[in-house]
Structure 1
Amino acid sequence: MKAIAVTFFLFCFVFPAALAQLRFGFYGRSCPRAESIVANVVANRFRRDRSITAALLRMHFHDCFVRGCDASLLIDPRPGRPSEKNAGPNGSVRGYEVIDEAKRQLEAQCPRTVSCADIVTLATRDVVALAGGPRYAVPTGRRDGLRSNPADVNLPGPTIPVTAAIQAFAAQGLNVNDMVTLVIGGHSVGVIHCSLIQDRIADPSMERTLNAQLRNQCRAPNDPTVFLDQRTPFIVDNGLCLEVLRQRGVMRIDQSLGLDGRTRGIISSFASNNALFRQRFAQAMVKLGTSRFLSGRAGEIRRNCRVFNNGR
């Protein structure tokens, strides 16, 4: 209850307009077990596969960065009708079956009540806590979008400069602190293909031991993957900040955040204080999930997260 109260205060203080449309416990009467159903599905998957943390974080970010948190990423493409899943940056997004299972159970319990957009937000919240990250409350009441077009997808890439990253996050209503927190927090778990870090492997400033390790790992065929955080690759914590300060950032944008004058101080503060990182990450995740969304009578509540209700 204490963690929920703290997060509620932060939300009320920073996002009063959004709180008028979304609220904590939105499904308290219409589907009382909604959040526990999502939590159980996520926990069952996490017990079998800890890599699902990175998958759900990526899904949440990629959905919210395109027209807001409206589950537009979940729509399957059809012949002659591509969707956001067809866009290059979304080719590596996975974990859709977790959302499908939660939706299946929710439809059996409370038909056409809980949105897919809220399921993604809740599932991400739950998996972060399971992976050692902060426990925080999220307001719900989002509606599902009616558009999913690959042409709308313009996501930051692994080599994006800090200035461009600041601008991309600002377009989502997120400031520099939010950007650093979400990028570093999101990259504290998961892997990246070697083909996407060749610029870092060729960078003479990378710490020698890690550079030699990555060169060896990336010699393997079929574009292997390496951990983004070499210290604690399955835990949502400040480990990547410590790595970045030692020139051990695997991804270009991560290392750049540790060098740029506008962001280095944030990285340093997180590196020395994991409690601060946890607090800021919880706050930034709530802010991301409420930066843009549909509510009220906008959009729809999908019966199947992969298909619009009208079947188009």
Structure 2
Amino acid sequence: MASSAIGMVIMVMMVCSTCINASTLSLNYYKHTCPRVESIVAGAVHKATLNDKTVPSALLRMHFHDCFIRGCDGSVLLKSKGKNKAEKDGPTNISLHAFYVIENAKKALEAICPGVVSCADILALAARDAVTLSGGPSWEVPKGRKDGRISKAAETRQLPAPTFNISQLQQSFSQRGLSLQDLVALSGGHTLGFAHCSSFQNRIHKFSSKQSIDPSLNPSFANTLQSKCHINNKVKNAGSPLDSSATYFDNTYYKLLLQGKSILSSDQALLTHPTTKALVSKYAHSQLEFERAFVKSMIKMSSITNGGQEIRLQCNLVR
């Protein structure tokens, strides 16, 4: 009995290592110490986006991947050093890019308010700006995160995989204090971005012993995906946009999902549970409802702040 109780305590401690801790954050955190922080970050994101339309999706994905490991502590920004392989070099994160945007914003901020703004806050602001610049909503970002000192590639296995079913997705999100509603809303971030063939090969080639293609896929759409991703694909960076308006933040992702035109198994999984299926339909029929839910869930996710300890002077190095 005693050992079971101890085991339960340990399990709760492990789960809560990435629990939400919004009490440490404030909308006015830099009001007196660095009042231009938001405009400087927004400027860096805007400048980068003018040269590369994939920057917004990259920054949004980067923030998500940061928050899901050790909380939103900027650990995804750290580079590998010595024998330690950092998160950014883990298999799941190998396609992350646009780190230079965060570095450029940090450099500009260090010039006017040195040692004040955390890299984790810069990333949270940049993710918001990425959505807004893509035609999506804006929101007030709570600030005051600290930067973490630990980054391990092996821990990226904790990220929800593109092959996850609804039970696996629910478990992954609930361990971080996020609900099924948050799962569906945050999945809408797939309205921006691109998936490599390796992320959805399981749906278009050798789906099962009896079927080559996932029967939940629209047949003509499946054929289109097969033409982009051959079974022995060797084309570097081959894949497909995650929806048909992949540089514009809208609710097309949900509309396509209902039409059998989702890319990932984890997208399709949202239609296998009554609660998540109802939310998919709700957001498919209302851009406004989706945006409201997305903003609420983004603030909730970005408030997972446990683990940060310092303000880095460079975002890719600990002090």
Shift of 1:206: 1.2
- 2:312 pairs with 1:299: no
- Alignment partner, residue 157 of structure 1: 161
Give the alignment partner of residue 250 of structure 1, picking from 240, 263, 270: 263
Distance in 2 between the 1:152 and 1:233 partners? Answer: 29
Query: Which deviates the most, 149-158 or 214-223?
Result: 214-223
- 2:282 pairs with 1:272: no
- Alignment partner, residue 182 of structure 1: 186
Give the alignment partner of residue 239 of structure 2, picking from 211, 225, 236: 225
Shift of 1:133: 1.1
- Alignment partner, residue 10 of structure 1: none
Q: Which residue identity does 2:286 align to in structure 1?
A: N
- 2:126 pairs with 1:123: yes
- Alignment partner, residue 13 of structure 1: none
- Show structure 1 runs of 5+ residues with no match: 1-16
Distance in 1 between the 2:70 and 2:198 partners? Answer: 29
- Alignment partner, residue 212 of structure 1: 223
For residues 133-186 of structure 1, give each alpha carbon's deviation from its aligned partner in whole angstroms, at most 9, with x where no partner exists. Answer: 111111101110121122332111101011110110001110110011112x22
Aligned alpha-carbon RMSD (Å): 1.5
TM-score, scaled relative to structure 2: 0.87
Shift of 1:91: 0.8
Look up the SS of the partner of 2:240 in the other structure.
Answer: strand
Look up the SS of the partner of 1:205 in the other structure.
Answer: coil
- Alignment partner, residue 14 of structure 1: none
- 2:246 pairs with 1:236: no
TM-score, scaled relative to structure 1: 0.89
Give the alignment partner of residue 109 of structure 1, picking from 108, 112, 116: 112
For residues 233-281 of structure 1, give each alpha carbon's deviation from its aligned partner in whole angstroms, at most 9, with x where no partner exists. Answer: 1112210100010111111111121233231001000011110000000
Shift of 1:218: 1.6
Instruction: Check whether the contact 1:128–1:134 (CA below 8 A) recurs between aligned residues.
Output: yes
For residues 45-103 of structure 1, give each alpha carbon's deviation from its aligned partner in whole angstroms, at most 9, with x where no partner exists. Answer: 11222211110111001100011000011111022222112321111111100000000
Shift of 1:305: 0.5
Shift of 1:18: 4.6
Look up the SS of the partner of 2:169 in the other structure.
Answer: helix
- Alignment partner, residue 76 of structure 1: 79
Instruction: Check whether the contact 1:172–1:292 (CA below 8 A) recurs between aligned residues.
Output: no
Q: How does 1:15-94 map to 2 (within 5 A)?
A: 18-94=21-97
Query: Which deviates the most, 268-277 or 248-257?
Result: 248-257
Look up the SS of the partner of 1:301 in the other structure.
Answer: coil
Distance in 1 between the 2:178 and 2:107 partners? Answer: 33
Instruction: Check whether the contact 1:162–1:257 (CA below 8 A) recurs between aligned residues.
Output: yes
Distance in 2 between the 1:173 and 1:55 partners? Answer: 24
Q: Per the alignment, do residues 200 and 46 of structure 1 end up closer, same or farther by CA in structure 2, a change over 3 Å counting?
A: same
Q: Which residue identity does 1:216 align to in structure 2?
A: S
Distance in 2 between the 1:273 and 1:241 partners? Answer: 10
Give the alignment partner of residue 286 of structure 1, picking from 299, 311, 314: 299
Distance in 1 between the 2:160 and 2:22 partners? Answer: 28
Equivalent pairs, count: 288
Instruction: Check whether the contact 1:161–1:253 (CA below 8 A) recurs between aligned residues.
Output: yes
Q: Which residue identity does 2:131 align to in structure 1?
A: V
Distance in 1 between the 2:234 and 2:79 partners? Answer: 30
- Alignment partner, residue 9 of structure 2: none
Distance in 1 between the 2:152 and 2:22 partners? Answer: 29
Look up the SS of the partner of 1:37 in the other structure.
Answer: helix
Look up the SS of the partner of 1:226 in the other structure.
Answer: strand
Distance in 2 between the 1:54 and 1:234 partners? Answer: 8
Look up the SS of the partner of 2:250 in the other structure.
Answer: coil
- Show structure 2 runs of 5+ residues with no match: 1-19, 205-212
Q: Which residue identity does 1:174 align to in structure 2?
A: L
